[in-house]
Structure 1
């Protein structure tokens, strides 16, 4: 997508880049869309860079990404729904989702507390987009039916390396050897 300016058509939740602080962009605010990868949008607003989740794209006058989950009976959290949500989160610089990049190490579900804990890593411990990725995981996994709380644990053992990527992701990024 080329850079373009749009006005928000409703109040829009966003997260500042790179620290992930939640903000609300008021309706009628002009923003410049600078990037759209994986259904998420990076915009500049009032001199700041922010990330808008694709599920809120209609606030930009665009088609919203819908997370659709198979119907469940009862109030339990389905692990496959959590993985489905995680596969919709893309690295902001690479058009590959976090699961296929090998960044998600483990998902744990506490059915009583309605809590999902995700153990994940980053491609490098000093990754500047780490807080935004953590925020993306919390935001998307919270949309899974019956989830009340999401915790993300950043772990760096074992350290990430390209062999953790799926073959498809290695081909997509040109890292297949």
Structure 2
């Protein structure tokens, strides 16, 4: 009987020592900082956003300045589509497209790459984006500043930027009526009524 009690006491002591060791390991592990992703990165599963799009720098037609293809790929991730496109000088360039689902604010972002430089970029929001009153666009004066127009009207339905020229599209009603605004050197140079493709 004494032997059985001794064996049980020894086993119990061993269990206490092991559990104490386990607790020490847990507390030392708990002291290590956890690499928990931020809420923003948790929702940014696609790798694309307006913030990242705005960070892309377009080169000039002389290929001076601007971001490289590698930098944009690192920022936006792998594109959903790649295709060839012809430039005005008849040279071939690559167009890369990054796409989100239909419930997202941005439908897609694209970038045209020529000789490893971002020659042009653009995006399109889903048609459920904010509709701008036609009167707001009509009252815009010629030479209005690009940033001032964005601040006043909000993000456009679509945008394309290439070598100092910006093209913005704003939807003005639910029937697909819209306006295309052209900016040269950040100044409004043209307003044209248009119809969105359905």
Q: TM-score scaled by structure 2?
A: 0.27
Q: TM-score scaled by structure 1?
A: 0.29
For the pair shown, the structure with the greater C-alpha radius of gyration is 2
- Higher RCO structure, 1 or 2 (CA under 8 Å, sep 6+): 1
